[in-house]
Structure 1
Amino acid sequence: MRETIHTRAMTAADWPAVEGIYAEGIATGNATFQDRAPSWAEFDSGKIPDLRLVATDAKGELIGWVAAPQTSSRPVYRGVIEHSVYVAEAARGSGVGHLLLADFVTASEAAGVWMIQSAIFPENLASLALHAAHGFREVGIRERIGRMSFGPWAGQWRDNIFVERRSDVAGTT
């Protein structure tokens, strides 16, 4: 897979493709409560620059991305992030998510991150399996944490499974 799929740092020039993949995830109804992709300015201001990666295929087409903000501005939570990983519809099931998440974990540990967390809809079985394969554990279920505002799910309350992966970079494990 590494021979045909590569990861690299995300740039502003990647935004149209990243936004398109984000929109595909939103359309599934099982990726996020967001009803639209943010603008580049919103995305850029909210994500840690060194922890934004994209995956490209052998033709150089962008087929996935991963990024994360800090979970809090409070110093006590420095080193705790909540990430999102999205794979283009046409590339799902091909290992892109595994490559992105593996490289993201490596980059986050190099940056001193000791906990990566995420909230995943219970119906998103592929994401739950992906995260479990990379050492994430289920911490709990946040029941009726948010109400969908779009599509056939509009008005429905949804649960999230909260997952985390702890690293020993700060001697915390």
Structure 2
Amino acid sequence: MQIRDAEDRDLEGITAIYNDAVAHTTAIWNETTVGIDNRRAWLADRQAAGYPVLVAISAQGEVLGYASFGDWRAWEGYRHTVEHSVYVQGDQRGAGIGKALMTALIDRARAAGKHVMVAGIEAGNIGSIRLHERLGFEQAGLLRHVGTKFGRWLDLAFLQLTLDERSPADRSTGA
């Protein structure tokens, strides 16, 4: 398996993984699947903002999973904090792909001078919560009944990872 930056040739696989999560899981709180043009625009937006989109690629060139991060909130005071997402093909979960993607994504966030990485995870997704905890994320809060999917209310668990110990005074204003 190889972890690398996503390219246009990966969009079909990224779209399939995204749509599978929409249709079958509570990992994405949308109920409408998207077309490849939607994911193309999403990838272009991430790249234009300077944020990574990483893919895990099998030896045969198949997209097994993807991960990215972006702004936590739009206001300037949050510029050192990012929120991420990571998705793995349904039949590949538990095989270490999510961990490999997350490890590379955390390295990218540190290299970009970010201070905190936030995870918003459906509270019943114990596998994802445990993966994040093994990577050093700590529970930061729980919002009850803030979403709905499949005819039920969903709780949102927040976890966070402090990426460095520098103070805001130690950072350049552009990071």
Query: Could you tell me which residue of structure 2 aligns to residue 106 of structure 1?
Result: 107
Query: Could you tell me which residue of structure 2 aligns to residue 89 of structure 1?
Result: 90
Query: Could you tell me which residue of structure 2 aligns to residue 44 of structure 1?
Result: 43
Partner letter of residue 162 of structure 1? Answer: F
Query: Could you tell me which residue of structure 1 aligns to residue 172 of structure 2?
Result: none
> What is the aligned length?
163
For 1:167 and 1:95, how far apart are their aligned partners in 2? Answer: 21
Per-residue deviation, 1:29: 2.6
Superposition CA RMSD, Å:
1.8
Partner letter of residue 73 of structure 1? Answer: A
Identity rate of aligned residues, in percent? 26
Mapped contact 1:121–1:160 kept (Cα < 8 A): yes
Q: SS where residue 124 of structure 2 aligns?
A: coil
For 1:145 and 1:116, how far apart are their aligned partners in 2? Answer: 21
Q: Give the TM-score, by structure 1 length.
A: 0.86
- The verdict on how the C-alpha distance between 1:10 and 1:137 changes in structure 2, with shifts beyond 3 A counting, is same
1:94-138 residue CA offsets vs partner (Å, 9 max, x unmatched):
100010000100011101111111211122111011101111111
Structure 2 alignment gaps of length 5 or more: 169-175
Mapped contact 1:53–1:67 kept (Cα < 8 A): yes
How is 1:8-157 mapped onto 2 (pairs within 5 angstroms)? 8-38=4-34, 39-44=38-43, 46-47=45-46, 48-148=49-149, 153-154=150-151, 156-157=152-153
Q: Give the TM-score, by structure 2 length.
A: 0.85
For 1:41 and 1:16, how far apart are their aligned partners in 2? Answer: 9
Per-residue deviation, 1:42: 4.3
Partner letter of residue 106 of structure 1? Answer: D
Structure 1 alignment gaps of length 5 or more: none
Q: SS where residue 113 of structure 2 aligns?
A: coil
Q: SS where residue 58 of structure 1 aligns?
A: coil
